[in-house]
Every structure is written in C-alpha cells, then in structure tokens.
Structure 1
Amino acid sequence: MRQPRRLFYGLTIALTLASPVTAQEGSASVLEQVRKKGNLTIAHRESSVPFSFLGPDKKPMGYAVDICLKVAEAVKKQLALKDLPITWRQVSGADRIQVIESRQAELECGSTTNNAERRAKVAFTVPHYITGARYLVRADSPIKDLADFEGKRLVSTKGTTPLKAIERANKDRLLKIQILEAPDHAKAVEMVAKGEADGFAMDDVLLFGLRAASPNPESLKVVGKLLTIEPLAIMLPKDDPVFKRLVDEELKRLIRSGEAQALYERWFMKPIPPKNTALNLPMNYLLKEFWKYPTDVVPN
C-alpha cells in the first residue's frame, strides 16, 4: 500500500506545479511561483531579537531565520533544483501580513503570533516558540504589572497582538492608560529608555532580547504576569495545501530529529550578536509539551 501512496503524493505535486492551485484566483501555486522566478523570497524583521534581526553586517539572522533556511533547503529538494537563491524582504509589524497575503514573499520568518484573525488571511506552520506579553520598564520604575500603568503611558508596536491585548484590557478595566504606538520594537525600547513611555508591552522573549541588545541593559527590566499566550510561527500564503504540507513536514522533521532544539540552544542559551551575550532562556514547559506532538493547530 505504501508505493501507491507515494505515487499519489508525487502525482499531486506534479499536478500542482502544472496547474495553479491557490486562494487567489489566477495566481500560481507557491512552488510553481518559486520555480518560475528562480528564487525564494523570505520576509524578515529588523529588530525581533533573537528570532529575526539584522546582524552587524546588516544581513538577516536569528532563530526563525535559521528555521526558514532549513525550509528553503526542503523547497530546493522538492523542486529538484541545484541552487535556490534567497531574496530577503524586510517587513514590519504593520505590513508583514499583507506582504505574505499578496505573495510578495513565500515565508515570513519573525515573531508572528498564529491566531484566528490572522488565519483568515494567511497560513501558519508548527509554532517555533510559545510566549506571552509582559512589560519592559526602566530599572528604577515601581511598576510591577499592568494595573500599575493606570494613568501612565504604555507603548507597543503597531500591528501586534500585545497592542490589541493592552487596548482591550485598558478598556475592560477602565485603567485610563495612554497607549502609544511605535513603528518597530527598537523605537519602543528607545521611548522607554528616554522616558517618553513608562513601559513597553510585548512578548516577553522579545523584551529579554531587546534588553540584552540595548546600549545599557542594566537600566531596563522585564516585569509583570503574562497578559497573553502567544504561539509564534512562520507565516506562509493561505490555501496552498501542497506548499503548506511541505513546510509543516519540514518543521516536524526538525523537531523530531533534534535539529530544532539545537537551533534553540544556539539562539537562546549561547552568546549571540550584537553584543555577543547570552539570553540564558531555557525552553519553557509550554513549548516542550507542544513539541511532543507537533502540530499547526493552536488553541486561539
């Protein structure tokens, strides 16, 4: 029975490459699009340390970037290509979904949360991290949790789930917080450091990375209970089942082989750019449990 299944799967791939099958009428399948243009376009972030950021040489690097490069190898193998150049496309929290939805990039490798609202426009693979929103404040700040921001200024990055979470909590709890929007994570950290905001709400793992990369890490601290639970995953175009299956299977292979855990150790436990310091963030129990039976299905 195994041989017919392999033949059926191979036929499915061949038909997909020959006949466009996508969510957007008249557009090519992702694999056909990659074959025709001769490269794979990967969207990346500028300052989502340690997931996706620009290194000292201004080239993309990070945990999610390394995972995407593994996926790129799987795409190259599937298409039987000798070489598959990577074209990098920098995106922000505000435009990343639109870039994938409009097929300006085949993969987005950053720190994007998989949730129901976004799945209406794009697809996600197996989560590579599970985190939650907390707060970055100055080291001398008395703020310990969200309620302490009452009447104060709290910034978050435009287009992110933590921004929506604090807007909702502010309204529900009548906290009268002045909520500010920053164009990117780096600007939000700068606003806290300069006293333009009393805190920065974002996924805690990003806050630790941004703190470590800041000019004066000891002047900042991360506080508060988790406001949200955020499964972070690579984003890809919606309604292309063959491409999604390829990406999902590569993520599962990385997890089952231990390669994903090795990448985690590299970016979360060992010294990394730009300051060659370690985040020292062991894998949390949420991700450990999720990876026992890796899937793209998440509770939200």
Structure 2
Amino acid sequence: MKLRKTSAAIATGLVLTLALTACGGDSDDSGKGGGKITIGIKFDQPGIGLKTPDGKYTGFDVDVATYVAKELGFEPGDITWKQAPSADRETLISNGDVKFIAASYSINDKRKAKVDFAGPYLLAHQDLLIRADEKSITKAEDLNSKKLCSVTGSTSAQNVSDKLAPKADLQNYGGYSECLTGLENKAVDALTTDDSILAGYAAQKEHQGKFKLAGLKLSDENYGIGLKKGDKDLQSKINKALEKMKSDGSWDKFVKANFGPANYKNEPAPAITETS
C-alpha cells in the first residue's frame, strides 16, 4: 500500500512538472527563457517591410521591430513575422495574433479608438515620386494637368483629388510596383503615397537614378507601433526601447541603410508622445 502511494505521488508530481513546463515554454511576454514573439509587418513595401524571394525580411520597420524585440528580451531567431495588411492591422492586434505591429502604421484618432500605440518612431509626409529628369512638377497644384498614379483605395490619392489638385487625372493601379512601371514608361507623371514608402522603392537597386522625390510635405504621418488597447506595461517598455534606439545611434543607422540610396531627406527622430 505504501509503495502504491509513493508511486502515485511521483506520478502526480511528474504530471504537474510537465504541465508547468508546457505553460512556460513559449512565453510571449518575456524572451528570458526561450520564448517566442509574433510581430506584424508589411511584406510588400521595399525599404519599410519586405519579404524577399529567399524568405528574408528587410526594411526600416523590420530593423526597428527587431531592435524593440531585443530590448524586450527576444533574439532575432525568436521572432515570427506575420504579414499585416493595412486593413487587417487592428484585427490582428485585438485578436492577439501579434504582440505588436510595425507596418507604416500612422497614428490617428480613429485607430486609437481600437488599439494603443507606442512611439512615434518616424515622421513621414505624403509626397510625390517623379522621374529623375522631371522639372515641371514642383508643387501639388502642378498635378492638375498631369496623370497621377496611386493604389486603389489610397487615402493619399484622395487627399490630392479632394484638396490639392482636383483636376489631376487620377490613375488607380493595383499596386505601387505597377505605378512605378507606369512612371518609368511615361504612362503616368507622378506616384503619391508616404515619402518613406516612395524612398524605399526609389532606393531599390533596379530603380536607383530613375526617380526622385518631389520633396513636398502634403501631410504629416507619425508612424507608431500598434499594440493591444490597455497594455500600458508593453507600451512603456516599447517607448523605452525606442528612446534607446535614438540615443545609441541605431535609428540613424537604420534610416541610412534603408532610405539612403534614394537621398531621402528624413525628419529627425520624433519625440515620444504616446504614453497613455
């Protein structure tokens, strides 16, 4: 009888040990101890967030997210990258599919009603990408007699149509790469979206020297890191990581590496404003 009780106690202890191990083996909150983290990024924006044909991930947002994850205790190998299309970002966060999102994610009140942000970590502006030899487009109004390309559903194109150049001949394409082809072939005269995204495309090896940014600041776009609403602890930790990234020179290094070939005249690293 005593032997049976001892065996039962050992078995119970083993079950508890296995259960505890299973619960703690894949922590998404602290990388200390072999945890994993899932981060949302863009897969199709060169210079910002791009999944390359060989399965690697590159871009400014990828560098920023990797740095932040490191400060949270996660090594690059602990990160699972998840595609975060613009329309799905809030859903991915609220469902817990990602821990946070860094995906050219502009902070605005409509989004803040659903998610919280840390940052911002980059101040971008809506701009125009034009051919390198283009001299007739120096301001938004010049688009009134031009063909302007953007992606279907783009708020940037709508901003031009509604406010800046209502007589522009707006051409809606399925993707920015199609707009670039049209720009190179002179089917369109300009492409509009955030200057950081435009710089990423212009910096690609196959595009270097063909295009230039017009240098117009048609809107302010503060990129933030999106996270679950109410997670003040994570917000504070990410903000601390972003401050360190600026102070140790990493931010400048990431800007130069991802946007340098496009001669992108970036704004200084913005002050952290999302603290509550």
What's the TM-score bracket when you normalise by the shorter of the two chains?
0.7 to 0.9
Answer yes or no: is the 8 Å Cα contact 1:101–1:122 preserved in 2: yes
Among 255, 258, 261, the alignment partner of 1:267 is 258
- 1:31-50, aligned counterparts within 5 Å? 31=29, 39-50=36-47
Q: TM-score, normalised by structure 1?
A: 0.68
C-alpha distance in structure 1 between counterparts of 2:226 and 2:173, whole Å: 22
Which AA in structure 2 matches 1:260?
A: W
Among 131, 135, 139, the alignment partner of 1:138 is 131
Deviates more, 1:101-110 or 1:199-208: 101-110
C-alpha distance in structure 2 between counterparts of 1:68 and 1:115, whole Å: 20
Answer yes or no: is the 8 Å Cα contact 1:170–1:176 preserved in 2: yes
Which AA in structure 2 matches 1:201?
A: T
- 1:73-112, aligned counterparts within 5 Å? 73-76=70-73, 85-112=78-105
C-alpha distance in structure 2 between counterparts of 1:48 and 1:83, whole Å: 20
**Aligned residue for 1:185?**
176
- After TM superposition, give the deviation of residue 259 of structure 1 in Å: 3.3
1:247-290 CA deviation, whole Å, 9 max, x = no partner?
12221222234333343344344xxxxxxxx3444653xx25x3
1:115-138 CA deviation, whole Å, 9 max, x = no partner?
222212222211221121111123
> Between Structure 1 and Structure 2, whose CA radius of gyration is higher?
2
Distance 1:46 1:150, change over 3 A: same
Deviates more, 1:105-114 or 1:216-225: 216-225
| Aligned pairs, number | 247
| Structure 1 spans left out of the alignment, 5+ residues | 1-29, 270-277
**Aligned residue for 1:118?**
111
**Aligned residue for 1:12?**
none
**Aligned residue for 1:147?**
141
- After TM superposition, give the deviation of residue 204 of structure 1 in Å: 1.7
C-alpha distance in structure 2 between counterparts of 1:268 and 1:174, whole Å: 28
Deviates more, 1:229-238 or 1:54-63: 54-63
- After TM superposition, give the deviation of residue 210 of structure 1 in Å: 0.7
| Structure 2 spans left out of the alignment, 5+ residues | 1-27
Q: TM-score, normalised by structure 2?
A: 0.73
Q: Sequence identity of aligned pairs in percent?
A: 23
- After TM superposition, give the deviation of residue 60 of structure 1 in Å: 1.0
Among 60, 63, 67, the alignment partner of 1:66 is 63
Pairwise CA RMSD of aligned residues?
3.4
Answer yes or no: is the 8 Å Cα contact 1:64–1:109 preserved in 2: yes
C-alpha distance in structure 2 between counterparts of 1:134 and 1:221, whole Å: 11
Q: Secondary structure at the match of 1:126?
A: strand
Deviates more, 1:96-105 or 1:172-181: 172-181
Which AA in structure 2 matches 1:145?
A: K
